[in-house]
Amino acid sequence: MVALVPTGQHIGERDTFLNFIRAQREAVIRASFGLTEEQAASRPSVSELSLSGLIKHVAEAELNWLRLAQERPNERQRAEENWGEGFRLVDGETIPEVVAFWQGVAEETEEFVRSVPSLDDTFPLPPAPWFPKDGRVSVRWMLLHLVQETGRHAGHADIIRESLDGKGSFELIDLEKRSS
């Protein structure tokens, strides 16, 4: 697994977006490589964030954007009373289970992006104080947002991992390659 996003002369816009999102997903997941469930759930700073919680959060966030774009209900929609559970593993959840869930979401995202007639197609934003009233965004905007959101959390994951044992992403890439 490399850190450089694949390039190519004949790669289209959709594949470019999907490759960048895939690279960011891998970076978030990679940060937990070789850790125990307990280590990945630890919070080495005053932040509430843990590696396992970040993986779960970003997976659920991607599902949410996918369901919005599909204009379908989100089966994992969080309410105020269980909002915090989206940032930590609960009820015996494990990192492999959450990663498998995210991989399923990723496959569905890729299928959707490849099937939509145009990246200019739009969908409505839900009512929320941070969204414009009756706002709409394009599938292209959603893809850029997923790159931004997942990349932002990949940076959080890097910092948490480095705080736990000093391992950075390039070292983890090397360790991952050698263990394959």
Residues 120, 139: Cα–Cα separation, whole Å? 6
Query: Global pTM?
Result: 0.93
Any alpha helices (H) in the chain, and if so which ranges? Answer: 13-30, 37-41, 51-70, 95-115, 139-165, 169-179
Sign of CA dihedral 161, 96, 154, 9: positive
**Rounded-to-10 torsion of CA 11, 12, 14, 18:** 20
pLDDT on residue 177: 87
pLDDT on residue 4: 64
pLDDT on residue 170: 86
Taking only the tens of pLDDT, the chain with its 180 residues reads: 546 676 666 689 999 999 999 999 999 999 999 999 999 999 998 988 999 999 999 999 999 999 999 999 999 988 888 888 999 999 999 999 999 999 999 999 999 999 999 999 999 999 889 999 999 999 999 999 999 999 999 999 999 999 999 998 888 988 888 888
Sign of CA dihedral 107, 26, 141, 120: negative
Position 52, amino acid: S
Strand-pairing partners, residue 136, are 124
